[in-house]
Amino acid sequence: MTQKLSHNRQKKIAVIEDIAGFGRCSMTVALPVISAMQVQCCIVPTAIFSNHTAFPQYFFDDYTERMPAYIDKWKTLDLEFEGIYSGFLGSERQIEIVAGFIDDFRTERTQVVIDPVMGDNGRAYATCTPALCARMRELLGRADILTPNLTEACILTETVYRPSGWKKAEIVELAQKLSAMGPGKVVITGIRQGEYIANFVYDRGENLRFLRTQRVGTERCGTGDLFASIIAADAVNGVPFADSVKKASQFVRRCILRSIEMEIPVTDGVCFEEYLYLLHDRRKEK
């Protein structure tokens, strides 16, 4: 009698976000990064772009109405995921679908990572309507880990944004408000502190710390996706949260420096391919 093999013998993360064929963001970042960290990356596309929207022209195909049927096929396979990671969600309907996905596939060992891609540099994206913000806050109730930048943290907590001059007590209050919505672990990224960029780590109210790296170059597309992908894979692999934030920050900085050396256009993101080997933990091979 032939034994039926399980699809759940390897660690898996379900990644729910758009696919941009060129420009190094969203799924084209998550797939190689998570795979390099020895976790199977299973994709749920929300939309298809020829290249991301920072370019003057792009092809776009909304995948929202196809998502439920796509996900239903996974249910027939009895798939289980150690991680669920959602990135950019462009509508209330997509947030509703992601909430349902988490409810259907989450197990006691699943880590849910939400990167609430809603804005940057003090400005909300055009898709970030009041109704979408309200739905995103509801989604946070299902998160274990949240990775907003400072702009997104302000949007979600209805706090007035300013580019610099934040006191630690103010950042702590932001993190506390976000954690109260659901996630035990929060990292607020992109906090400017003079010549440094800081990430604030909030781990269930116990481990509160700034992790700083020196600012280099200009802001590039996809760095938040790169950061969150490392956080998601590390969460599944059991890496302590603060250690993961430090690793992700240093990796992004290294990739930015290499992109400057190679004269990569800012719209093209960061050339993380040059350093993917650094994310592979060879200790697992022993």
Mean pLDDT of 66-76: 97
Residue 95, class by beta-carbon neighbours within 10 Å (0-12 exposed, 13-18 middle, 19+ buried)? buried
Residue 5 CB contacts under 8 Å (≥ 6 apart), including other chains: none
Residues 118, 21: Cα–Cα separation, whole Å: 21
- Number of Cβ within 10 Å of residue 270's Cβ equals 30
Q: Tell me 261's DSSP state.
A: H
As a whole number, the mean pLDDT across the chain is 93
- Span 176-225, pLDDT tens digits: 999 999 999 999 999 998 888 999 999 986 778 999 888 887 778 899 99
Global pTM value: 0.94
Residue 262 has pLDDT above 60, yes or no: yes
pLDDT of 169 reads 94
Q: Is 91 exposed, middle or buried (0-12, 13-18, 19+ CB in 10 A)?
A: middle
Tens-place pLDDT, residues 125-153: 989 999 999 999 999 999 999 999 999 99
The residues near 66 (Cβ < 8 Å, ≥ 6 apart) are none
Distance in angstroms (rounded) separating the CA atoms of residues 187 and 208: 10
Domains, the chain: 12-265 (3.40.1190.20)
Of 4-13, 29-38, 125-134, 243-252, which range is least confident? Answer: 4-13
Distance of CA 187 to the CA centre of its chain: 11
* Chain segment 85-103, per-residue pLDDT in tens: 999 999 999 999 999 999 9
Sheet holding 196-203, edge to edge: 60-62, 40-51, 12-22, 83-86, 111-114, 145-146, 185-193, 196-203, 207-214
Largest pairwise CA distance in the chain: 69
By the 8 A CB rule, do 102 and 84 touch? yes
